[in-house]
């Protein structure tokens, strides 16, 4: 899942993920770092930093705008 999240974010620039405890996170290229050695995703949310274990991601999606 880690590589899939990383590749999709690089392709789309924005990605929503939901983890097993029900929390959702919005990832952007400018505030997300990937740590390949640990498969952790670091999200800088301004006042807080989140560390997301990619193995805990249950699904991901991309915002789509209906035309």
Total-model pTM: 0.87
pLDDT tens digits, one per residue of 2-59: 999 999 999 999 999 999 999 999 999 999 999 999 999 999 998 999 999 999 999 9
- Phi, psi at residue 36, to the nearest 5°? -60, -30
Q: What topology is assigned to 2-61 in CATH?
A: SH3 type barrels. (2.30.30)
3-state secondary structure 6-54: HHHHHHHCEEEEEECCCCEEEEEHHHEEEECCCCEEEEECCCCEEEEEH
pLDDT at 63: 76
The residue ranges of every structural domain in the chain are: 2-61
Q: Copy the structure tokens of residue 2.
A: 């880690």
DSSP state, residue 30 = G
Three-class DSSP category at 10: helix
């Amino acid at each position: 899942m880690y590589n899939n999240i990383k590749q999709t974010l690089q392709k789309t620039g924005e990605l929503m993920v939901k983890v097993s405890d029900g929390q959702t996170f919005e990832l952007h290229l400018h505030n997300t770092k990937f740590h390949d050695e640990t498969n952790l995703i670091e999200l800088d949310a301004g006042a807080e930093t989140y560390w997301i274990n990619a193995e805990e991601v249950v699904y991901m999606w991309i915002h789509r705008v209906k035309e």
